[in-house]
Amino acid sequence: MTRREAALRGLAWGIIAGLALVVLMYFSAGVFGLRPLPQILNDPLLSLMPGVVFGYLIDTLQHAGKVVEEIGLIVAMLVVLALAGAASAVASRRWTSRWIPFALAGVLWAIVVAVLLPIVGLGVLGLRDGPATPFIWAALFAIYAVVLRLGGTGSPEVDPGRRRVLSAVPIGIAGVSVAALGFGLVPGWYRAIFKAPGSGLTGVSAPVTPVGDFYVVSKNPIDPTIDASSWTLKVGGLLDKSLSFTLEQLKALPVTRQYTTLECISNNVGGEQISTGDWTGVSLRDLVAMAGPQARATWIAFKARDGYTESLPLSLVQSMPEILVAYQLNGAPLPAQHGFPARILIPGHYGMKGPKWLDAIDLVDSEVQGYWEQQGWDHNALVRTMSRFDVPSDGDIVNVGAVEVAGVAFAGTRGISKVEYSMNGGSTWNATTLDQPLSPLTWTIWRATWTPGVHGAYTLKVRATDRSGAGQDSGIAPSFPSGSTGFHTIHVYVSS
């Protein structure tokens, strides 16, 4: 067998062994709590990605972005494991040792547990994820080596009889592995792209968004799971006295309940990453006042269980009692995906400013850059005025006659004074009626009746004006770095 033939054989068996390793890696995640490499490498890759690149991807891919990244990392793993298989086969031509696949697998294991796991914050050998972590990875790479050895990559030649037996083995291993990956991952990927909370809008938005429809955005492949009985919220830093609250103690403080709309900074023009909730919590201003800020304290920094960081000027918090440490949404405890047991809610600012799974609040003397600010996103993250069509939908076909036109508009704490729509691409504008918003912190539902007189194609646009008299920005801009702008535009076809 030539060197080239050995390399190709090793490459093929490296892919097969790699598929088996990837399948068992995800299986170990469910059984032993092991975190798969594509998931733990998510944050480091995002932090290395230039903000403008990430902004483009999030604008273009939206909820599909995480799926694409995970698939890409799986493919990258398979490429590395395939190359290791080729190296094993080539090495076996020179050194006739049965242990070559195991030696290469040992090198890969060392890279994972001694380099990658510490880099992503899991400590030496990944022990912060549990004492069994390095041993689970050792078992996975041992199985990888066994499959390589089965393919003959640890010996210079394979006898003809064994070659015939082995001809069916790779097909079986690869087939089972691909089927297992498809069964285990594809449904979740499908839900992430097509069934994400807040997607699939039908009809005019309700004043309060049901929890099941409330949009969800997270930087994490796997969000934290927190035991409420052992959770405490620590308030420290430049204070006269440090405080600590259990969830029950937090609930015992004076309660604030308010309707507030929350929007993601990556929400596209006309997008669905905006929802309104009935929030219950404690005013952050009151909480900080209890601890007595020192004269040097000028900022409030937040730390979350998933490593998320953010900060706000103390002056802003003291002027806005509406900023909450929220622990309920729509009259029930915060769902896990929305930050249980508690999160920060900051009216008038995009959701990136309000950490979920809150662990600590510290008063400091300078700004602490938030997770997304470190990648170039706007550190103020003030909500820009937006408006959206809920009905009709883009591409709808309607009949000549009265057509309901409606949607939502939002300008943060500035409120909405008027909404106008155009049925001729912006040449002329028509007034709409506005429902009374639930509070000064929520979106406004707008409505109108459009009566097209003739059939044909129509281009509808919508724009809003806030209560200060400032109109919505008509210039088209992506979400990075400060939120998207432009008028939501849809195309409707009128049939006779």
Please choose, from the candidates 66, 76, 82, the residue with its C-alpha nearest in 3D space to the C-alpha of residue 185.
Answer: 66
CA Rg value for the chain: 28
Same fold, 211-375 and 386-495: no
Per-domain residue ranges of the chain: 3-194, 211-375, 386-495
Q: What's the CATH number for 211-375? A: 3.90.420.10
**Alpha carbons within 13 A on the beta-carbon side of 27:** 14
Sign of CA dihedral 211, 216, 218, 220: positive
Q: Going residue by residue through the chain, which has 496 residues, state the pLDDT in tens, using 9 for 90 and above.
A: 677 777 888 888 899 999 999 999 998 887 887 888 887 887 677 667 666 666 666 666 666 777 887 888 899 999 999 999 888 888 877 776 678 889 999 999 999 999 988 887 788 888 877 888 899 999 999 999 988 887 765 554 555 555 554 555 666 777 788 888 788 788 878 777 776 665 566 799 999 999 999 999 988 877 899 999 999 999 999 999 999 999 999 999 999 999 999 999 999 999 999 999 999 999 999 999 999 999 999 999 999 999 899 999 999 999 999 999 999 999 999 999 999 999 999 999 999 999 999 999 999 999 999 988 988 899 999 999 999 999 999 888 888 899 999 999 999 999 999 999 999 989 999 999 999 999 999 999 999 999 998 888 899 999 999 999 999 999 999 899 999 999 999 999 988 6
- Classify residue 463 by burial, with Cβ atoms within 10 Å: 0-12, 13-18, 19+: buried
Taking the C-alpha atoms of residue 469 and residue 108, their distance in angstroms, rounded to an integer, is: 62
Q: Please check whether the domain covering 386-495 is classified as CATH 3.40.50.10190.
A: no
